[in-house]
C-alpha cells in the first residue's frame, strides 16, 4: 500500500470517529502529508490548493497556476480546477462529494474564508454544516515513520555540513545579516529543497534575544554568537542551534555555557517514551533553576519537528502530552542575560522506549 493511500485511510477512520463527512485540508504541511503535493502557499491569504477527503472520494481543488503540477504529483486524486476561487466553487464541490458535515482546520483556515464559505452554503440553502476541527492530521504526523525519520536525518546532515563549512569563515567585522545570508545561500545550493526557516544569527547583546532578527551589527571577538539554522529535504525540516565564539569569551558567558550544556546533556540522557512533556522540560529547567538562572530560561525545552519546523509535541513546563516512540523533538535549553548575551544549544533526538537517539553528528561544543 502506498504511503499516501495508507495515510488517507487513517484519516478516514478519524473522520468516522468525529462523525464528519469530509474535511477541508488547508494547511500546506497537512496537505503534503496526505497527498505529496509539494507546492507552498505564497502567503496566509493565498493557497495553492485544498484537499477534501471523504470515505470513498479524494479531491484536490486548486487553480490554473497549479494544474500541471497537481496532475503530475497527485495521480491518485481527482484534481478539480476552480476558475474564480475555492469559495465560488464550494457549492459544486459539495454537491459532487455529496457531503453535509464538513470539517475545517480551525487553526489554519482564515476567518474571512470561513465566513465566505458559510455565506455560500446559506445562500444555496444546502444542508451543510461547517465543523471546526483541531489536530486531526497533526495527531497523525506526530509519530514519524522510517521514511520520515530518514528525510529528517538527511536534512540535518545537510544542515551540519553547511554549519561546518561556515564556521571557518566567521571573522570579526562580518555582520549578522551577511552571515545569515551566507548560511541561507549555502543551504539552498548544497542540495536542500529550501531553508526550514530564515537563519538566526545573533551576536553579543543581541544573543540575549532567543529569536533575534539578524541585523547590520558587526560581530566582535570574544562574544557569544548564536546560530540557529535548518534545511528542508523532501519537505522535512531540521533545526539546530550552536553558540560559537571567535576567541575566548568572558567568564560569565563561560559559566552559562557550561550550565546550558549540562542541562542539555541531562535532558538527552533521560528523556524517553512514556514521559510527560512537562517532566521532560523539567529535566533541563531544574538544573538551570538550581544554578540560579531559571528566570533567564523563558522558552520551552523543545518541540516536534517534521514537515514543519515547529509542530507537536510541545515540550514546556505546562504541557501534558505523553512522549511516544518515534517522535522527533528538539532539546534546546538556553540562558539569556539582558545586555550581556545568551547561550542556546539545540540537538534533535528520536524518542525511543528506553531513551532517545541523538540525530546530530555535529559536536561543535566547548569544554570550558
Task: Decide: 328 and 303 in contact? Cβ < 8 Å.
Answer: no
**Distance between start and end Cα atoms, the chain:** 52
The one-character DSSP state at 167 is G
By CB atoms closer than 10 A (0-12, 13-18, 19+), residue 262 is: middle
Give pLDDT tens digits for 326-345.
999 999 999 999 999 999 99
Give pLDDT tens digits for 123-142.
988 899 999 999 999 999 99
Q: How far apart are CA 69 and CA 67, in angstroms?
A: 6
Q: What is the pTM of this model?
A: 0.95
Residue 19 has pLDDT above 90, yes or no: yes
HSE (CB half, 13 Å, CA atoms) of 265? Answer: 8
Chain mean pLDDT for the chain = 96
Give pLDDT tens digits for 255-291.
999 999 999 999 999 999 999 999 999 999 999 999 9
Residue 44 has pLDDT above 90, yes or no: no
Cell of 185: 545561500
For the chain, which residues make up each domain, given as ranges? 3-141, 146-358
Q: How far apart are CA 182 and CA 203, in angstroms?
A: 16
The mean pLDDT value for 182-190 works out to: 97
The mean pLDDT value for 60-75 works out to: 96
Task: Decide: 18 and 136 in contact? Cβ < 8 Å.
Answer: yes
Give phi and psi for 124, each to the nearest 5: -80, -10
Cis peptide before 313 (omega within 30 of 0): yes
Residue 260's nearest CA partner among 346, 319, 360 is 346
Question: What pLDDT, on the 0 to 100 scale, is given for residue 43?
Answer: 87
Q: Which of the four pLDDT bands, split at 50, 70 and 90, describes residue 1?
A: low
Q: Which residues contact 306 (CB under 8 A, 6 or more apart)?
A: 29, 141, 144, 148, 152, 236, 237, 328
Q: Where are the alpha helices (DSSP H) in the chain?
A: 3-17, 28-35, 67-73, 86-97, 111-124, 138-141, 146-166, 176-189, 251-270, 277-290
CATH of 146-358, one of 3.90.230.10, 3.40.1410.10, 3.40.50.150, 3.40.50.880: 3.90.230.10
Q: How far apart are CA 169 and CA 207, in angstroms?
A: 19
Domain 3-141: give its CATH architecture.
3-Layer(aba) Sandwich (3.40)
Residue 102 has pLDDT above 70, yes or no: yes
Amino acid at each position: 500500500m502506498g504511503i499516501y493511500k495508507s495515510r488517507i485511510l487513517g484519516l478516514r477512520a478519524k473522520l468516522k470517529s468525529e462523525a464528519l463527512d469530509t474535511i477541508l485540508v488547508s494547511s500546506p504541511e497537512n496537505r503534503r502529508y496526505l497527498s505529496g503535493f509539494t507546492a507552498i502557499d505564497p502567503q496566509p491569504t493565498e493557497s495553492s490548493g485544498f484537499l477534501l477527503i471523504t470515505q470513498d472520494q479524494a479531491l484536490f481543488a486548486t487553480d490554473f497556476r497549479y494544474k500541471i503540477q497537481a496532475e503530475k504529483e497527485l495521480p491518485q486524486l481527482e484534481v478539480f480546477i476552480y476558475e474564480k476561487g475555492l469559495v465560488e466553487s464550494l457549492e459544486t464541490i459539495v454537491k459532487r462529494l455529496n457531503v453535509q458535515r464538513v470539517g475545517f482546520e480551525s487553526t489554519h483556515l482564515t476567518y474571512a474564508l470561513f465566513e465566505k464559505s458559510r455565506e455560500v452554503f446559506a445562500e444555496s440553502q444546502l444542508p451543510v454544516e461547517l465543523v471546526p476541527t483541531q489536530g486531526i492530521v497533526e495527531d497523525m504526523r506526530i509519530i514519524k515513520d522510517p521514511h520520515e525519520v530518514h528525510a529528517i536525518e538527511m536534512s540535518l546532515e545537510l544542515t551540519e555540513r553547511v554549519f561546518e563549512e561556515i564556521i571557518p569563515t566567521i571573522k570579526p567585522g562580518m555582520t549578522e545579516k551577511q552571515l545569515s545570508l551566507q548560511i541561507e545561500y549555502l543551504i539552498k545550493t548544497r542540495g536542500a529543497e529550501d531553508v526550514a526557516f530564515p537563519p538566526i544569527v545573533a551576536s553579543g547583546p543581541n544573543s540575549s534575544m532567543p529569536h533575534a532578527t539578524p541585523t547590520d551589527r558587526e560581530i566582535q571577538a570574544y562574544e557569544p554568537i548564536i546560530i540557529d539554522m535548518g534545511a528542508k529535504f523532501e519537505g522535512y525540516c531540521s533545526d539546530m542551534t550552536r553558540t560559537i565564539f571567535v576567541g575566548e569569551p568572558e567568564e560569565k558567558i563561560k559559566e552559562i555555557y557550561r550550565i546550558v550544556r549540562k542541562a542539555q546533556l541531562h535532558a538527552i540522557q533521560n528523556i524517553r517514551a512514556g514521559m510527560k512533556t512537562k517532566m521532560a522540560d523539567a529535566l533541563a529547567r531544574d538544573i538551570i533553576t538550581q544554578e540560579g538562572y531559571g528566570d533567564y530560561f523563558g522558552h520551552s525545552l523543545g518541540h516536534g519537528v517534521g514537515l514543519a519546523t515547529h509542530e507537536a509535541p510541545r515540550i514546556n513546563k505546562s504541557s501534558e502530552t505523553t512522549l511516544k516512540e518515534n517522535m522527533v523533538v528538539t532539546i534546546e535549553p538556553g540562558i539569556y542575560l539582558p545586555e550581556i548575551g545568551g547561550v542556546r544549544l539545540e540537538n534533535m533526538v528520536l524518542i525511543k522506549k528506553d531513551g532517545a537517539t541523538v540525530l546530530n553528528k555535529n559536536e561543535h561544543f566547548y569544554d570550558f
